C-alpha cells in the first residue's frame, strides 16, 4: 500500500462526547496533541467541535494549530471525504500535561478556552484500525482509555456523556501516547 498522506503525533488527549441524552451525534470534540508532524511541518495541533445547542451552528469548529500550514494540511490530506474536509483552520495554543494518573489538554482559540481532563487511565495498548467512513485513514498507535473525562469551556464545567465508541472506532476519552494516521 502506497502512502500519500500522513500525520503522526505524541501526547494526544482525545475527547468525543455528548452534552445531552438523545443526541444522535457527539456535539463535543477536543482532539489535540502536544506535537503533530506532517509533510507541511510540525506544531501542537488537533481538532475542535463545540456545538452546545445542537439546533444552532457550532460555536467552535476547525483544525486548531500553532502553525496555519500544519492546520491546513489536515482537511484535504487526512480527512478528505468526511464532514471535516473543509473545516477552517484556527490558530491557537495547545498545552498537554500527562501523569501516570491522567492527562489534561488546555486549548486556547479566539473567544474560547477548552480544558479537558482524563482520569482513571487503563492499560496502554497497541491499536491498528482499518479505514472507516469517518476515519478514511489507517490508524496505528498507543492508547490508554480513560475511565472518566471532564470538560470546562471558558471556566464553566460542561456535563458530558461518553458514547461507547468514538467516530474513529476507539474510545471516546483516550490518552494517545503516540500514533499515526496514514492514507
Tell me the pLDDT tens digit for each residue of 5-46: 999 999 999 999 999 999 999 999 999 999 999 999 999 999
| Secondary structure E strands in 5-155 | 6-17, 28-38, 41-50, 60-65, 89-91, 93-99, 102-109, 112-119, 125-129, 138-145, 148-153
What pLDDT does 1 receive? 67
Give the C-alpha separation, 133 to 23, whole Å: 20
pTM: 0.95
Tell me the pLDDT tens digit for each residue of 84-131: 999 999 999 999 999 988 999 999 999 999 999 999 999 999 999 999
Give CA torsion, residues 72, 77, 82, 85, to 10 deg. Answer: 30
Mean pLDDT of the chain: 95
What pLDDT does 169 receive? 84
Q: In the block, which residue shows the cell 501523569? A: 99
Amino acid at each position: 500500500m502506497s502512502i500519500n498522506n500522513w500525520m503522526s503525533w505524541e501526547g494526544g488527549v482525545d475527547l468525543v462526547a455528548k452534552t445531552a441524552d438523545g443526541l444522535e451525534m457527539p456535539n463535543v470534540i477536543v482532539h489535540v496533541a502536544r506535537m503533530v508532524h506532517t509533510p507541511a511541518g510540525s506544531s501542537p495541533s488537533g481538532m475542535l467541535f463545540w456545538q452546545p445547542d445542537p439546533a444552532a451552528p457550532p460555536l467552535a469548529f476547525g483544525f486548531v494549530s500553532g502553525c496555519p500550514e500544519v492546520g491546513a494540511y489536515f482537511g484535504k490530506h487526512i480527512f478528505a471525504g468526511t464532514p471535516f474536509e473543509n473545516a477552517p483552520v484556527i490558530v491557537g495554543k495547545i498545552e498537554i500535561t500527562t501523569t501516570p494518573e491522567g492527562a489534561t489538554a488546555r486549548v486556547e482559540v479566539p473567544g474560547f478556552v477548552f480544558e479537558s481532563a482524563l482520569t482513571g487511565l487503563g492499560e496502554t495498548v497497541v491499536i491498528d484500525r482499518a479505514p472507516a467512513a469517518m476515519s478514511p485513514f489507517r490508524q496505528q498507535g498507543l492508547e490508554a482509555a480513560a475511565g472518566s473525562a471532564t470538560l470546562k469551556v471558558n471556566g464553566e464545567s460542561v456535563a458530558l456523556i461518553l458514547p461507547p465508541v468514538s467516530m474513529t472506532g476507539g474510545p471516546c476519552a483516550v490518552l494517545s501516547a503516540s500514533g499515526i494516521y496514514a492514507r
